[in-house]
Structure 1
């Protein structure tokens, strides 16, 4: 019995190890194909303001985030003919406001406004901050960019092109006089319909100017393992997988979404639209799931990355951040997905794969594990290089030895962090304590 059980376990773990490696190689291949070459300008960027679809950019702000002036400035220098920028705050004394005014004064030619509104409709401060900008946006296409995110000048043009090219005959982009393109430019364009693209997002890439060990470990995680799996899952495209650092979608689509909370759906007047996500800390993921499942809208990515400027994080800050989002995510995914997550990490998957091969073929576990880790690191470094192809001038030089040390620390911390996250459903975010409920919604403690 014991021998049969170990044989079956070895076969299962070998298959699981092969699946994990397939995802790793798919993420690496996607990075090499999509990002490891100079980006091409969008044809939409060359259109006149009358012929281009209008876009409202919303920057929700709260306090002085890392490199705030430069991140806000990046959305004022876009190579795009028709857009506005809404800076959203909830307090007229917010420390971000003087920075916003400096940016607006430097670029008076850009249509930009400050919206200050202390509306509270739920526990999520970002959703609270977005309610008024969504209501007052001039255009249906909305691009929400987090305060720590910087983008390159061509990002918006490529995002809009990816959004509408799937929903509009591509030939219309070549003819500014075509009636179909004119209907888009007049902002009476039909919102995306079932089966079309309804959300554009970019993979986040971390940038460190303050080289504390917490920020370096976070950078190693985001620029290798996270990016690799993020690209692989989106390439497979069997379900929504969205990080809300930089998302472009239609306001009309958002307005049609119902609340994901089962208890609220049973109420006489369940919340809809953006307000439907105010009870969720991971509103980005829930909105993506809503667009995918409720409206059957696809997601797409471009060859751009979202530069995420990290502050001075301690190792404890890094651990707390990972634990927080693991506790949120485990309430939004099936149990078996949560339980399998450690097996997607390098050390656990390597040990399982090495034992499985040893059990079936009699090879050396230490030798197999070393080969596995060397190959894993090679793929991670190649993925990182590909993703940084077009942003080398925008990030400070770094030490390869320091990065490798941070990478190794991240890999060693992965399992302990996961185990710690499984012990509770409480999280702390921006100084407030929450309980994550079984629906994925959060309750303030």
Structure 2
């Protein structure tokens, strides 16, 4: 009996040490994300020197807006790229259907800004399951410039964003050449949600994107041990993309596997896969600027929010090491608070409820500070918000995190843009309703 008690005590001690170390690591990541937000975003942005150059001296940029239907606040998001403070750019609006509801909006914007070099490309070509890749193929081919800035339809940008992005991209190489190994090959911005239609689903999504997601996104990119990119707003070189070989096992079995953008058509998260390709195949670094990508959320229900998070968890678990997926719940505030409080109590002796409350309060303060820092330069653009509503949405997000993760682990099937897909071990998506 005494021996059993000693063994149990030893196991308990080692478990407490393990969880204490894990707790410290999680807090280090949180504080790194918070510190990055404070340093990079909590001050007015400065204009780039490139914005003041003449059109003949500045590197040209092709902005591509892939479109499908009437996304939230579409007119304003598309208009933002027509008002850029940059001397030399063109805009391509890419659609796959001449009856797309976004087309009249695009034409109105082009009529309002005739001085901007802009055009529409409508092409129904399909090379894979990812409609965004299908939508981008012709614009990639017909772009006037090597520098491409791909911006999702729900994203709005501020006038100085492009100049600062190009400046970050060209920091280590000549403006006329594609990046070489070791140089910057991709510039991206952290997405920040704006919510005009304040449904509970959109408020919870906003709380997630503007705190937990932003904090961890900034921390991982600050550590820079591997690629971590979402495709809301990405600037890269067409020449670099064309050099990428496909990571798809199914495509590599073909006699002539596609290279470049077409090689990423089997993946729903093509943005992350392209960024990984630039990082690992071409040894190109990623950079971030002091700008954010303004993501306008629609009227989401709580179910919409849950479905969205489940979908991307199921995609991500096939694209990252299993250990990262298994550890993810331990990075969430409530779970971390529980095992961290127990570990501290076991090692140092203290009240678990008191430790948990201190932990949760500190976590909330860090999240709120991160959110304020990220919103420094967009306060005039965001709609009025209620601090009380945000806190309720934040708490709901934290409570939903573990149930959503557990639900995501139960299946590999996702629903995206009306289609059902199975995500296989390579990260590729297989369409399950091809006959529809």
Alpha-carbon distance between aligned partners in 2 of 1:229 and 1:308, rounded to the nearest angstrom: 18
Equivalent runs, 1:258-337 vs 2, <5 Å? 258-337=245-324
**Structure 1 residue 3: deviation in Å?**
1.5
Aligned partner of 1:383 among 364, 370, 375: 370
Alpha-carbon distance between aligned partners in 2 of 1:333 and 1:400, rounded to the nearest angstrom: 35
**Structure 1 residue 306: deviation in Å?**
0.2
- 2:8 alignment counterpart: 2
Alpha-carbon distance between aligned partners in 1 of 2:69 and 2:158, rounded to the nearest angstrom: 23
Q: CA RMSD in A?
A: 0.6
**Structure 1 residue 324: deviation in Å?**
0.1
- 1:180 alignment counterpart: none
Aligned partner of 2:76 among 64, 70, 85: 70
Alpha-carbon distance between aligned partners in 2 of 1:305 and 1:167, rounded to the nearest angstrom: 24
Relative to the length of structure 2, the TM-score reads 0.97
Structure 1 position 140 matched with structure 2 position 124 = no
Alpha-carbon distance between aligned partners in 2 of 1:74 and 1:432, rounded to the nearest angstrom: 30
Aligned partner of 1:45 among 15, 35, 51: 51
Structure 1 position 427 matched with structure 2 position 427 = no
Alpha-carbon distance between aligned partners in 2 of 1:354 and 1:263, rounded to the nearest angstrom: 47
Relative to the length of structure 1, the TM-score reads 0.95
Equivalent runs, 1:55-204 vs 2, <5 Å? 55-168=61-174, 184=175, 189-204=176-191
Specify the SS of the correspondent of 1:357: helix
Q: Tell me the alpha carbon deviations over residues 60-106 of structure 1, each in whole angstroms, 9 at most, x when there is no partner.
A: 00000000000000000000000000000000000000000000000
Alpha-carbon distance between aligned partners in 1 of 2:80 and 2:98, rounded to the nearest angstrom: 23
Gaps of 5+ in 1: 169-183
Alpha-carbon distance between aligned partners in 1 of 2:12 and 2:173, rounded to the nearest angstrom: 52
Contact 2:251–2:263 under 8 Å retained in 1: no
**Structure 1 residue 429: deviation in Å?**
0.3
Alpha-carbon distance between aligned partners in 2 of 1:265 and 1:302, rounded to the nearest angstrom: 35
Gaps of 5+ in 2: 1-6
Specify the SS of the correspondent of 1:63: coil
Alpha-carbon distance between aligned partners in 1 of 2:165 and 2:148, rounded to the nearest angstrom: 11
Specify the SS of the correspondent of 2:170: helix
Specify the SS of the correspondent of 2:388: helix
**Structure 1 residue 332: deviation in Å?**
0.3
Alpha-carbon distance between aligned partners in 1 of 2:14 and 2:277, rounded to the nearest angstrom: 39
Q: Which runs of 4+ in 1 moved over 3 A?
A: none
Alpha-carbon distance between aligned partners in 2 of 1:85 and 1:135, rounded to the nearest angstrom: 14
